[in-house]
Amino acid sequence: MKLSVVIPAYNEEGSITETLVSLHDCLRARQIDHEILVTNDNSKDNTLVILENLKNSISTLTIYTNPGPNGFGHAVRYGLERFTGDCVAVMMADLSDDPHDLVRFYDKMQEGNYDCVFGSRFVKGGSTHGYPLLKRTINRLANLVISVTMGMSYNDTTNAFKLYKKETIQGIQPLLAPHFNLTIELPLKAIVRGYTFAVVPNRWTNRKAGESKLKIKEMGSRYFFILLYCLIEKFFSRKDFHKDTQLKQAQKLTTKSIE
């Protein structure tokens, strides 16, 4: 099963080398067939120059530059429209996500044939390091609201680090979120539309270089919009977009084409 890794990057000159080298070394050591897709989101620093140089040592690296509109969600979606693997993970460019956890996600997906594997930093075995107290508090409150609203037990929806089968990404289209609210749109749509998932504990480490691109004050209403959108689909779509419904429609089309 070929693994694709989509990494959005905006002004990550201080982190991108360590992130990609450690990721590539980890996947190569496990002999996992993979590709690493970095979407340069029109960085204003030397990120693109560094990426071009890294192509000489990382054979599985592909670089795209998002022409715009820009933003975290747009950059991730740009990569999700272009990956070629059987499954795809979204990871951050600041080395906050551990490549060894990605391998555990990958193994879990194959072991149980899950449509998605979600990480959680807040279950037994998970951990955070250097998480600012204010951001951590806001994170836990936001995830509590999401869990209660959607009627689910999963407690780390807002973390982007997750793994999806190719068919799952195709099945949760169209994606709307242009910003960090894409982090909740992807898993919530997958859950609402009936895709199977497993939760695996993962580690998170605060960035060593650069600045976080997440602006909490700007994101509240945007997260709420996506949450409301997914809630409406859950209760009023009559499962028109559900995995089982899509499979039945695909089977009908296949039968007609054979006839």
Using the structure block, give the residue that is written with the tokens 């270089």: 209
Q: Count of CB atoms within 10 A of residue 208's CB? A: 12
Residue 216 confidence (pLDDT):
58
Give the HSE-up count for residue 181: Cα atoms under 13 Å, Cβ half-sphere.
21
81: helix, strand or coil: coil
* Better-predicted residue by pLDDT, 210 or 6: 6
Residue 250 confidence (pLDDT):
58
pLDDT tens for each residue of 118-146:
999 999 999 999 999 999 999 999 999 99
Domains, the chain, ordered by start: 3-258 (3.90.550.10)
pTM: 0.92
139: helix, strand or coil: helix
Q: Count of CB atoms within 10 A of residue 212's CB? A: 13
pLDDT tens for each residue of 157-190:
999 999 999 999 999 999 999 999 999 999 999 9
Is it the case that residue 254 has pLDDT exceeding 50?
no
Give the helix ranges, DSSP H, for 90-202. 99-112, 133-150, 166-171, 182-192
Residue 142 confidence (pLDDT):
95
Give the helix ranges, DSSP H, for 81-162. 99-112, 133-150
